[in-house]
Structures are given as structure tokens and as C-alpha cells.
Amino acid sequence: MSKRSFSTVRQNAPNAGKPRAALSAIDSLRTHQTMAALMPAVMRMAAIQKDCAAVLPALFDKCAVQRFESGQLVLSTPNAAMATRLKQQLPKLQQALNQTGWQVSAIRTKVQVPENTVKFVPMEKPPVPPQGVDALSALAAELEKSSGNEALKAALARMVARHR
């Protein structure tokens, strides 16, 4: 077979132009017994997610379709502020989805903080070096004895005692 006839056959193939890895992954999911039953639901969720993003592109980069059953669409948002902004646009979204063929009777939002967010881990405080403790002690000793300095002197004394 010549090189030219091979390219002609390849161009006329049903999957021509599609990436091989993506095609084989989808094909393997379709042939897997358990996954094949889930594929229609996954494709449906991806389609409604795409339609929602087309209607509200600025909001849907951080939102996701969580579930769509019996005309009830549930959307997840990363925080309450985003949920409030999305709720203001729900009538527009519902109308647009109904016009594109989705039978949406109600839309709810649900705040779900993503798991991959940065978690606050309190850092252990580094110890105060001995020179610093000595300097705080000297400062407390050098302060004038007045009613205005009593609270400061007491705080310095507690700090010195805690770090010795």
C-alpha cells in the first residue's frame, strides 16, 4: 500500500483527527461492563455543564453541576458569595436551559468547599533567643516606675518568665 493511499484511508476513518489516547480511554470505558452503564449519565452531566457554562461563563468556571434528576438541577459552588451571585442568575439560566431542550423545573445551589484548598496549619512559634529574653528583662528594669508603665512592666515580666 502506498503512502498516499494510507493517508486517504486514515482521513476517511471514522475517528480520524481525534487523539489516539483520548479515543482509546473512552472506548475502554464503553467496553467495561460497569463503566458502560455510567457513560450515558456522565455524558449527560458533561453536556448540561457545557450548556450552563455557555449561558454563564463568568460564574461557571468555579461552579459545577452536581446532579440533575427529575427536572431538579443541583449546582455546587465553592463558597457562599459565589452561591449568592449564582442565585441571582438562576432565572436566566433556567430559561436558557429550557430553550436548549433541558427540562429544568428547579435549580438549587449547594456550597461545597473544594478538597484541594489550602488548609491553615498553625506554625510553631520559634523560641525567643536568650539575648532577646535578657534584653526584655533589661528593658523592664530600665523603665521608670510610674502608673503608666506598670502594665507594660508586668507584661514584660510575664514574657521573660515564660521564655526562661
Contact 80, 111 (CB under 8 A): yes
* Range with lowest mean pLDDT among 7-16, 66-75, 129-138: 7-16
- The model's pTM: 0.52
Nearest to residue 56, comparing CAs of 106, 21, 94, 18? 94
Residue 125 lies in a domain: no
Q: Are residues 105 and 149 in the same domain?
A: no
Residue 94 · residue 109 · CB < 8 Å: no
Q: What is each CA distance from 138 to 129, 133, 147, 156, in whole angstroms?
A: 14, 9, 19, 10
Burial class (CB in 10 A: 0-12, 13-18, 19+), 4: exposed
pLDDT at 15: 54
Q: Number of structural domains, the chain? A: 2
Percent of the chain exceeding pLDDT 90 equals: 37
Tell me which residue range forms the domain holding 145: 130-163
In a domain, 121, yes or no: no
Query: Are both 104 and 156 inside the same structural domain?
Result: no
Judge contact between 93 and 52, C-beta under 8 A.
yes
Ranges assigned E (strand) in the chain: 64-69, 72-77, 106-111
pLDDT number for residue 147:
86
